[in-house]
Structure 1
């Protein structure tokens, strides 16, 4: 800590030794900086707020259009034509502007106008102007007058200009719709001619390639279905060949005598299973009946048995006819598709250019139709907007805050700049003096001399000051104090001038 304190004392002493250089540099720096600060023209800012109430007969669309119109006019306020209109009618509070002042004002307004939205229906217009060769009172008056004129032009452009723009938009849309309608009619005629020449009497829809693809896909499906139908018909024919057309008449197609014999044999087996013997009366009766029936059957074995149509055969026959019809229908459709594929292939080989033209016309037609529909929708929206603007007050304006007359400059902050120049001048002067002392071969302490020479220093001799030297140094100190006091005095004088100028503007 002691070492740091020593270094600070050495630095302060070095600056004090070069105090006249430090003071001269500080004076030069401050004078140049203060002159530059005082020559910067003051910029005055005037602001106003406008309430924009968008009224409409419609829920969404028209209101959005009105808001876009407000945004459009807001952006156009900074155009060169609008700025010229503003400058031609603006005065500085006492007289009209000269040509030089007008040109300077236009250049300042290009970057000095800002329009910002505050909420949904509030706009703030700010005008910041900085002009050379014009007093600050006149600059403040010009800023207020420019803001007032911008408000008037804003309202005028939106109320009157929107109606003119609506009429121009309707006229333009009508012309575009008529032109697009003619182009659509011409494309329709060309498409109909190509269709008649290349696609007439051909099955399907679309271009030749699309119809060919559709026919081939259907042909593949048809071959698969035809193969299945033929397989089903072959299976039906085999089943029908194995089924007799007629069967013997009787109960369920079986002879009645055989049925009675089978029934008696079943009864005999049941009796034996019960343990009845041959001498049982029922067993004797059953055997007697069996003997009679068998003898009767043996006597009538060569006689014809009555026959009846087989119902299974009849059902299979009807199913065979149905499947034969299905096969015939599929075969006929296959013949039609083969003929169609052959015809389409011939058309593709004969007219490749027509196919290209057809695809191009289809694309052109889709594009033109989309554009026509969009233009038609825009025309209806523009017509409704024009009707609403003509029959109702589409946009209403109300000035919330009138353009203000600025009382103090918005920029630059001269008080802060003057203070900054003073502080910077003192720092620069001290820095130059310290640097100059470091370049001189002078040592402040014996430690510095020993460190620089590498030899031990035995002691030091103090300076002997005479009475005449004290008188001279006292005069020099008075001169230095006066010169040093003059620096903050000049600063206070400039601050007083700035304060007086602000009082005069207000």
Structure 2
């Protein structure tokens, strides 16, 4: 710890021994630094806040409620575009030095870095701009920053109120022109399609329509085939019932003997066969055996002439109806197959004509869809324009208007002036210390003893007479005065800066 303290005392003694050198370096560094700080132009920043709100019940009802908000967002993003910044430059002092397009590009690039547009809570916008040109006074720079912000507000208002309505009107006119052109093209395409369909009625609609027709016809043929199979199955069933049903039945008393039992058994057999049971089914086998036993008995009874069986007559009428249904379905199937074959043959025999039909139909559909889309867009834009002109409740308020700033935003001269003073003092002390290290002198006996590695018996102090002491005191007063002058100059510069801040217009 003692060694560190000795080193510190040695450094202080070295600097104090060369204090005039340190003071001279401090003066030089401070004067140069303060001149540099004085040459830095003041930068003034002007700010403003605006409130934008769109609340329209009619717009919400017709489905364009977010259109205004989208336009506001678009303007917020493009407000600092090159076109808008060029308007600002030409309408302020920034355009006085612009002589060529290259100068304009440089001015736009510089202004882009000095202008900002930020959104706060959706509908609240903050506009800010800085100005710090060296060829302008502080008052002119402060006024310029305020003018830039005011011009940005004017552009914002113009883009969102007047500009948007004018844009809607121009868009409606453009869409009307496009509708007229598309209408002529659509009429020509429709005439070509009608003429082609008159010459080729079987190819109406092109290949897509033909494919749809073929698919529908094939589906209908499959349906007819299924109905025909069901009808044939029903006809076979009724034929089976007829084969097992007697034409006549015995009358009188015999109706209740073996003949009646035989007729009932045959009726049961016909019912089993109509259900689709085979001859090997146990019920069918048992019924046939019963019929075989009853037939001899019915023959022995030998009843007189029978009467017509009403069940047989009913079955005959049902069979006639089902046969007619089968014939009708077969005729329908044949007609559909013939028509299907004709369409396929026509499509295969004339591929060029089918391709032409497909092209004409496609062109017509494309033109019609485009015409309908443009027509819908035109009506939406027209309705939007009417809403904005008559019922729009677009609210625009300048919450904090831009004012001429009284104090510069940058640089912070008090901090810079004090910083230069501290840097000058540090530079002076460092220079004095470095000079002490370069010269082969020893500030204390301990350093001498360490350097020579020999014991030091003592040290002789400097003997100063009265004249020398007076000279030393005079030089110390001069040193203190020069140091106080350096600090006083810093205070004066601080006071001048504060005075200038208060006198900015």
DSSP 3-state at the match of 1:466:
coil
C-alpha distance in structure 2 between counterparts of 1:8 and 1:359, whole Å: 104
Paired residues for 1:225-304 under 5 Å: 225-250=227-252, 253-255=255-257, 304=303
Distance 1:165 1:177, change over 3 A: same
1:22-421, aligned counterparts within 5 Å? 34-52=34-52, 54=54, 56=56, 58-60=58-60, 61=63, 64-71=66-73, 77-79=79-81, 82-83=84-85, 85-87=87-89, 89-90=91-92, 98-99=96-97, 108-119=110-121, 122-156=124-158, 158-193=160-195, 195=197, 200=202, 206-250=208-252, 253-255=255-257, 304-359=303-358, 364-391=363-390, 395=394, 397-420=396-419
Q: CA RMSD in A?
A: 5.1
Describe the shift of the 1:16–1:24 C-alpha distance in structure 2 as closer, same or farther (beyond 3 A). Answer: farther
Deviations along 1:318-354, one digit per CA (max 9) or x if unpaired, are: 4433433343233223212322332222223223344
Aligned-residue offset at 1:40: 3.1
Q: 1:495 to 1:322 in 2, by over 3 A?
A: farther
Shift of 1:33: 5.5
Using the alignment, how far apart are the partners of 1:250 and 1:37 within structure 2? 144
Are the structure 2 counterparts of residues 324 and 499 from structure 1 closer, same or farther at C-alpha, using a change threshold of 3 Å?
same
Taking a change above 3 Å as real, the CA distance of residues 106 and 253 of structure 1, as seen in their structure-2 partners, is same
How has the CA–CA distance of structure 1 residues 323 and 256 changed in structure 2, closer, same or farther, with 3 Å as cutoff? Answer: closer
- With over 3 angstroms needed to count, the CA separation of the structure-2 counterparts of 1:9 and 1:100, relative to structure 1, is farther
Give the CA deviation at 1:126.
2.6
**Offset at residue 462 of structure 1 (A):** 6.9
Greater shift after overlay, 433-442 or 330-339? 433-442
Q: Determine the C-alpha separation between the residues in 1 that align with 2:177 and 2:444.
A: 97
- Stretch of structure 1 that moved more, 303-312 or 341-350: 303-312
Contact 2:206 2:359 in 1 (8 A): no
Is the Cα–Cα contact under 8 Å of residues 202 and 340 in structure 1 kept in the other structure? no
- Indicate how the Cα distance of structure 1 residues 235 and 502 shifts in structure 2: closer, same or farther if over 3 A, else same: same
Match of 2:462 among 458, 463, 466: 466
Q: 1:9 to 1:319 in 2, by over 3 A?
A: farther
Q: Secondary structure at the residue paired with 2:136?
A: coil
- 1:310: Cα distance to partner? 2.8
The structural deviation recorded for 1:139 is: 0.9
Asked if the contact 2:254/2:260 (under 8 Å) is kept, the reply is no
More off after superposition, 347-356 vs 40-49: 347-356
Work out whether residues 115 and 125 of structure 1, in 8 Å CA contact, stay in contact via their aligned partners in 2.
Answer: yes
CA distance in 2 between counterparts of 1:8 and 1:411 reads 43
Gaps of 5+ in 2: 262-296
Contact 2:33–2:420 (8 Å) recurs in 1 = yes
Runs (5+) with no aligned partner, structure 1 = 260-297
Question: How many residues matched?
Answer: 457
